[in-house]
Amino acid sequence: MNIDPATNRIDSIPYRRSPNCDQRPPETPIELVVVHSISLPPGEFGGTAIERFFTNELDPAEHPYFETIRDLRVSAHVVIYRDGSMRQFVPFDRRAWHAGESRFGDRRRCNDFSIGIELEGTDTDPYTSVQYERLGQVLEAIKRAYPSVHAVRGHADIAPGRKSDPGPAFDWGQLSSRLPEGMGMA
Ligand SMILES: [Zn+2]
């Protein structure tokens, strides 16, 4: 897996441009990867709802839950689906809107200096082995392209009390063996 330095995108996966992003603040190296989980509607896997959510194309009439998120404008850089397929929505040099109110050490607004990776899943359903495999490959590629990245955390770690993903189902032990050198977990 490789990140093209000209586009700041993984060159081997489909790109669906999300409008929900903007410029990072100047002189702000990327330091952190935030792991999330998402499923739409919650607990249902497959389909294209996540993709449509991140591109503001979700039809609120399609499902009662979609009505509750109709005004949200969010994104992640990359989604890793349960079958291991992936989509990129925001180039890594841009600021995706994934972390919200958040804190890493004594720093706030984690979106400024982080990359957001969504795993298709819930807090309680075991993630698939191929998702761990892909996540490891993405982290390797990120570390190679952006050596300033030095940490990976769950959304719950940077927004405690407000967010719970990727939840107890996420096996940090499985990730630890796949972490690139120079990138640490909590
Ligand atoms: Zn999250």
pLDDT digits 0-9 by tens, 9-44: 999 999 999 999 999 999 999 999 999 999 999 999
Ligand 1 centre to CA of 155 (Å) is 5
Cα distance between residue 178 and residue 180, in whole Å: 6
Encode burial over 32-62: b for 16+ CB neighbours within 10 A, e otherwise. Answer: bbbbbbbbbeeeeeeeebbbbbbbeebeeee
Instruction: Say what the pLDDT of residue 41 is.
Output: 97
Instruction: Say what the pLDDT of residue 157 is.
Output: 98
pLDDT digits 0-9 by tens, 96-137: 999 999 999 999 999 999 999 999 999 999 999 999 999 999
Ligand 1 centre to CA of 36 (Å) is 4
Ligand 1 centre to CA of 6 (Å) is 28
pLDDT digits 0-9 by tens, 136-151: 999 999 999 999 999 9
